[in-house]
C-alpha cells in the first residue's frame, strides 16, 4: 500500500504533536513541513519535533515551494482558530489541487458564521477536485459529532443539553488571556465586551452542525460568558489566581428554534478545577424518545484527541468526494490501527 503523503503546516503544540503521531503510522508519510517561526525555518523537522533522528525534511516558511500535488496528497494545517485569518493559506492549498484538514475551530462548520467563505471554499475545492475539512476535539467531536451519533436510534429529539468541564492548566499564555484567567471580575467583563476574552471558540459551529444533522431548525444562537471566580489560590507556570480573581470562563451557547431552546452547550473552562472539588468530564443529555444520558469522566483529553482526530481523518478525507466537508458529512472517525484501517477508508 502506498502511504498517504502529508504536508504539516503549523508546528506549534498541536501541529508538532500531529506530526509526531504521523511518524508512528505506517500508512502516512510526512513529506514537507511549513511554519513561519524563525527558530524553526531551515531546521530538520526531526530536530523541531525533538524525535532524536533527522527526517530529511527542512521546515520552510515558503509554502509555495512545497505545495506540489505531484508530491503531496494532503495538508494538515494547525495555525489559528479563525477561518478568515486562515483563508489566504487555505486558498493556496486548494488552488494547488491538494486536500486539506484544518483544526481552526471556525472551520468545523464555516457556514455557521461565514457563509460566503464557506461557499467559496466549497466551490474552490470542487473546481480543483479536492476536499477540505475542519475538525478537532471541540468543535469537531465531543460537543457535536458525538451528540449527533447518540441520537442515532431516536424517534424524536425535543432538546439537547451537553457540557464539557475541563482543565485549562496545561495550556500556555495565549489561552490564559483569551479565557480571562488571572483577571479581576471587572477586567473579565471589560475583556468580554471588547472581544479580547472570547472563552470557547466553536459554539455557533457545533450548534449549527447538530441542527443541520438532525433537522432541528435552529434559527438563532446566543452565547453567554461568565467569570469563574476562584475561592482558593490557584497557579500554573503562566498565571497566578488569588481568591476573588478569575480562574476561567463559564461559556454557554444556546440554539433556539423560535422561542424554544433546542440545543444548549455548556463549557466551563478553568485552571485546576480539582482545587474546588470539580471533576472534569463530558456529559451529553438527549431529551426525547428515548432519553439518553452519557457521561465520560474525566473529559476526553483535549490536546491528545485533537491530534488524534485530525490524523485519523486523513484517509477519510483523501477518499472523500470533492468539496467542503464537516464531520457530519464523512464516515465516522476511528483510531488508525494497522493497514486494514487505511484500506477500509480509502
Residues near ligand NAD (CB under 6 A) are 10-15, 34-37, 78-81, 89, 103, 105, 136-140, 306
Q: Is the peptide bond before 290 cis (omega within 30 degrees of 0)?
A: yes
Return phi, psi of residue 263, to 5°.
-135, 125
**CA-to-CA distance for 284 and 291, rounded, in angstroms?**
11
137 or 157: CB nearest ligand NAD: 137
In the complex, what is the shortest distance from the CB of residue 12 to ligand NAD, in angstroms, rounded to a whole number? 2
In the complex, what is the shortest distance from the CB of residue 27 to ligand NAD, in angstroms, rounded to a whole number? 23
In the complex, what is the shortest distance from the CB of residue 150 to ligand NAD, in angstroms, rounded to a whole number? 19
105 or 161: CB nearest ligand NAD: 105
18 or 246: CB nearest ligand NAD: 18
β-strands 74-77, 99-102 pairing:
parallel
In the complex, what is the shortest distance from the CB of residue 151 to ligand NAD, in angstroms, rounded to a whole number? 21
Contacts of 297-301 with C-beta under 8 Å, sequence gap 24+, read: 299/142, 299/164, 299/165, 299/166, 299/167, 300/137, 300/141, 300/142
**CA-to-CA distance for 125 and 117, rounded, in angstroms?**
12
**CA-to-CA distance for 211 and 202, rounded, in angstroms?**
14
3 state SS of 264: strand
140 or 248: CB nearest ligand NAD: 140
CB-based closest residue to ligand NAD: 12
Cell numbers given for 103: 483544526
In the complex, what is the shortest distance from the CB of residue 80 to ligand NAD, in angstroms, rounded to a whole number? 5
In the complex, what is the shortest distance from the CB of residue 14 to ligand NAD, in angstroms, rounded to a whole number? 3
228 or 305: CB nearest ligand NAD: 305
85 or 291: CB nearest ligand NAD: 85
In the complex, what is the shortest distance from the CB of residue 288 to ligand NAD, in angstroms, rounded to a whole number? 27
132 or 245: CB nearest ligand NAD: 132
Q: Taking the alpha carbons of 154, 160, 165, 171 in that order, is the dihedral positive or negative? A: positive
Comparing CA positions, the residue from 96, 163, 164, 106 lying closest to residue 130 is 96
**CA-to-CA distance for 48 and 59, rounded, in angstroms?**
8
124 or 142: CB nearest ligand NAD: 142
**CA-to-CA distance for 329 and 346, rounded, in angstroms?**
16
Cβ distance 267 to 164 under 8 Å? yes
Residue 262: exposure state from Cβ atoms within 10 A (0-12, 13-18, ≥19): buried
In the complex, what is the shortest distance from the CB of residue 29 to ligand NAD, in angstroms, rounded to a whole number? 21
11 or 160: CB nearest ligand NAD: 11
In the complex, what is the shortest distance from the CB of residue 2 to ligand NAD, in angstroms, rounded to a whole number? 28
Cβ distance 249 to 225 under 8 Å? yes
Amino acid at each position: 500500500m502506498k502511504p498517504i503523503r502529508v504536508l504539516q503546516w503549523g508546528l506549534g503544540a498541536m501541529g508538532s504533536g500531529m506530526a509526531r503521531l504521523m511518524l508512528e503510522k505506517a500508512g502516512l508519510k510526512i513529506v514537507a513541513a511549513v511554519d513561519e517561526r524563525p527558530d524553526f525555518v531551515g531546521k530538520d523537522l526531526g530536530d523541531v519535533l525533538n524525535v532524536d533522528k533527522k527526517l530529511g525534511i527542512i521546515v520552510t516558511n515558503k509554502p509555495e515551494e512545497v505545495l506540489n500535488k505531484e508530491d503531496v496528497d494532503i495538508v494538515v494545517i494547525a495555525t489559528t482558530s479563525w477561518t478568515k485569518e486562515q483563508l489566504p493559506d487555505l486558498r493556496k492549498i486548494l488552488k494547488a489541487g491538494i486536500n486539506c484538514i484544518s483544526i481552526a475551530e471556525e472551520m468545523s462548520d464555516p457556514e455557521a458564521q461565514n457563509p460566503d467563505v464557506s461557499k467559496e471554499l466549497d466551490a474552490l475545492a470542487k473546481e480543483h477536485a479536492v476536499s477540505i475539512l475542519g475538525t478537532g476535539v471541540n468543535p469537531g467531536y465531543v460537543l457535536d459529532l458525538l451528540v449527533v451519533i447518540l441520537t442515532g436510534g431516536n424517534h424524536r429529539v425535543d432538546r439537547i443539553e451537553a457540557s464539557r468541564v475541563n482543565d485549562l492548566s496545561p495550556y500556555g499564555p495565549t489561552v490564559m488571556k483569551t479565557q480571562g484567567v488571572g483577571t479581576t471580575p471587572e477586567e473579565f467583563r471589560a475583556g468580554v465586551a471588547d472581544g479580547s476574552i472570547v472563552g470557547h471558540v466553536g459554539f455557533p459551529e457545533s450548534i449549527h452542525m447538530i441542527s443541520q444533522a438532525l433537522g432541528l431548525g435552529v434559527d438563532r444562537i446566543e452565547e453567554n460568558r461568565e467569570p469563574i471566580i476562584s475561592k482558593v489560590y490557584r497557579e500554573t507556570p503562566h498565571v497566578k489566581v488569588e481568591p476573588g480573581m478569575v480562574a476561567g470562563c463559564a461559556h454557554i451557547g444556546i440554539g433556539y428554534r423560535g422561542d424554544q431552546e433546542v440545543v444548549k452547550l455548556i463549557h466551563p473552562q478553568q485552571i485546576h478545577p480539582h482545587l474546588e472539588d470539580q471533576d472534569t468530564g463530558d456529559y451529553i443529555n438527549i431529551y426525547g424518545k428515548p432519553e439518553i444520558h452519557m457521561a465520560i469522566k474525566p473529559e476526553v483529553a483535549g490536546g491528545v484527541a485533537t491530534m488524534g482526530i485530525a490524523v485519523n481523518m486523513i484517509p477519510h478525507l483523501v477518499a472523500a468526494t470533492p468539496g467542503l466537508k464537516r464531520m457530519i458529512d464523512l464516515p465516522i472517525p476511528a483510531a488508525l490501527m494497522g493497514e486494514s484501517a487505511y484500506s477500509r477508508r480509502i
